[in-house]
Amino acid sequence: MRRRIAWAGSPAALAAALALSGCAVGPNYERPPLASPESFRGEAAPPSASSLADLPWWEVFNDPTLVALIQESLQNNYDLRVAVARVEESYAGVGVARSELFPQFGYDFIASRGRGTSFGGQPTGAVTGIGSTSNLFVAALNVSWEIDIWGRIRRATQAAQGQFLATDAARRGVILSLVAGVAQAYFELRELDAELEITRNSVDTFQKTLALFTRQFQGGVASKLEVERTRAALAQAAATVPRLEAQIVAQEDQLCVLLGRPPGPIPRGTSLIDQKVPSPEVPAGLPSALLERRPDLVQAEEIAYSANANVGVSIANFLPTIGLTSLYGSQSTQLSNLLTKGTGIWGIAGQAAGPLFRGGQLYYTYKGARATLEETQALYQGTVLTALQEVSDALAARQKLVESREQQIVAVTALEESVRLSLLRYTDGLANYIEVLDAQQQLFPAETTLAQVERDQLLAVVLLYKALGGGWSLDAMPGTPTTPTPAPAPSP
pLDDT band at 344 (very low <50, low <70, confident <90, very high): confident
pLDDT digits (tens, 9 = 90+) for 212-262: 888 878 887 777 888 888 899 899 999 999 999 999 999 999 999 999 999
pLDDT digits (tens, 9 = 90+) for 76-108: 999 989 999 999 999 999 999 999 989 999 998
Whole-model pTM?
A: 0.80
452, burial (CB in 10 Å: exposed 0-12, middle 13-18, buried 19+): middle
- CB neighbours (10 Å) of residue 117? 10
pLDDT band at 319 (very low <50, low <70, confident <90, very high): very high
Mind listing the domains of the chain with CATH numbers? 11-101+148-319+363-476 (1.20.1600.10), 106-147+322-353 (2.20.200.10)
Q: What is the dihedral of CA 63, 64, 68, 73, to 10 degrees?
A: 10
Rounded CA gap, 482 and 302, in Å? Answer: 19
The yes-or-no verdict on residue 489 having pLDDT over 70 is: no
- Determine phi and psi for 65, rounding to 5 degrees: -65, -40
pLDDT at 5: 43
Contact 79, 181 (CB under 8 A): no
Rounded CA gap, 157 and 2, in Å? Answer: 16
DSSP 260: T
pLDDT at 200: 94
pLDDT at 484: 46
Rounded CA gap, 460 and 453, in Å? Answer: 10
Contact 163, 310 (CB under 8 A): no
CA atoms in the 13 A half-sphere facing the CB of 41: 9
pLDDT band at 117 (very low <50, low <70, confident <90, very high): low
Contact 310, 151 (CB under 8 A): no
Residues 6+ away with beta carbon under 8 Å from 2: 29, 165, 301, 302, 305
pLDDT at 488: 44
Residues 6+ away with beta carbon under 8 Å from 395: 40, 41, 42, 43, 44, 284, 464
Rounded CA gap, 375 and 26, in Å? Answer: 17
In sequence order, what DSSP letters do the residues of 45-107 get, joined into one string? S---SS-GGGS-HHHH---HHHHHHHHHHHHH-HHHHHHHHHHHHHHHHHHHHHHTTSPEEEE
pLDDT at 20: 45
pLDDT at 491: 45
pLDDT at 477: 52
pLDDT digits (tens, 9 = 90+) for 19-78: 444 578 989 999 988 876 666 665 554 444 445 666 777 777 888 999 999 999 989 999
- For residue 145, the surrounding DSSP H or E stretch is strand 133-147
Identify which of 72, 60, 43, 53 has the alpha carbon closest to the alpha carbon of residue 187: 60
pLDDT band at 264 (very low <50, low <70, confident <90, very high): very high
Choose the most confident range, by mean pLDDT, from 44-48, 126-130, 365-369: 365-369
Q: Collapsing DSSP states into helix, strand and coil, what is residue 483? A: coil
The yes-or-no verdict on residue 4 having pLDDT over 50 is: no
pLDDT digits (tens, 9 = 90+) for 443-457: 999 999 999 999 999
